[in-house]
Amino acid sequence: DADVTQTPRNRITKTGKRIMLECSQTKGHDRMYWYRQDPGLGLRLIYYSFDVKDINKGEISDGYSVSRQAQAKFSLSLESAIPNQTALYFCATSNIGNEQFFGPGTRLTVL
Amino acid sequence: GQQLNQSPQSMFIQEGEDVSMNCTSSSIFNTWLWYKQDPGEGPVLLIALYKAGELTSNGRLTAQFGITRKDSFLNISASIPSDVGIYFCAGNQFYFGTGTSLTVIP
């Protein structure tokens, strides 16, 4: 079984809809992250959490919110989706240290 | 935010050729990491560098932490078809570069 799972894997939605992307991990890591990937722009950090009570904004947090429900779960919400939020979204985890372990990604399309 | 520029943006090479790519920043980093993303998957760590000037190998891959701490380099020797993918540098854990897309022609 995968160590980092993301649901859904693909989602098509309409402008203005609320969307939640979920991430679960079985690695026992305290640190979790959400990134978006756009062609030519690489991976950009949206939010990160170093433990259950810790939430921090990343480079591009506007239009997004997160919830750390437990050590193993970190969800990303788009309160009112817009077309330029169409992207590939990745969740990642890490322990203290630099290596991150990524999920398989969620492809989100906002029409 | 921190801007990491990778070059080249894409590469098309023949199987067996060597590959070189680099990552530069306007800021100093304490660590440099190199990841590979296979199509349809998340990135996976290849090499981590922790000291300026450090040279580290992982099989056919060799990476270096630049002396100025503002750049890093990745070399792949004798490329094979499974080297296809996007290669990302990352500084200080979560500042990622723009990626280098590698295509290996058999």
What are the φ and ψ backbone dihedral angles of B83, each rounded to 5 degrees?
Answer: -75, -10
Contacts of A92 in chain B (CB under 8 A): 42
| C-alpha angle B90-A34-A82 in degrees, rounded to nearest 5 | 115
What are the φ and ψ backbone dihedral angles of A66, each rounded to 5 degrees?
Answer: -135, 165
pLDDT at A2 over 80: no
Q: Can you tell me the mean pLDDT for B39-48?
A: 94
pLDDT at B74 over 80: yes
pLDDT at A1 over 70: no
Which residue out of A100, A101, A106, A107 would a mutagenesis test of the B interface target, given it has the greatest number of B Cβ atoms within 10 Å? A100
Amino acid at position B105, single letter: I
Which residue out of B45, B46, B96 would a mutagenesis test of the A interface target, given it has the greatest number of A Cβ atoms within 10 Å? B96
**Pairing, β A4-7 against β B10-14:** unpaired
Question: Considering only A104-108, B1-5, B27-31, B71-75, which range has the smallest mean pLDDT?
Answer: B1-5
DSSP A85: G
Taking CA–CA distances from A94, the nearest residue in chain B reads B93
pLDDT at B1 over 80: no
pLDDT at B99 over 80: yes
A6-57 tens-digit pLDDT: 999 999 999 999 999 999 999 999 999 999 999 888 899 999 999 999 999 9
B96 and A48: CB-CB below 8 Å? no
Contacts of B90 in chain A (CB under 8 A): 98
A51-77 tens-digit pLDDT: 999 999 999 999 999 999 999 999 999
Extract the tokens encoding A40: 């030519």
Extract the tokens encoding B49: 């560098």
Contacts of B82 (CB under 8 A, 6+ apart): none
Q: Can you tell me the mean pLDDT for B44-72?
A: 95
pLDDT of res. A30: 94
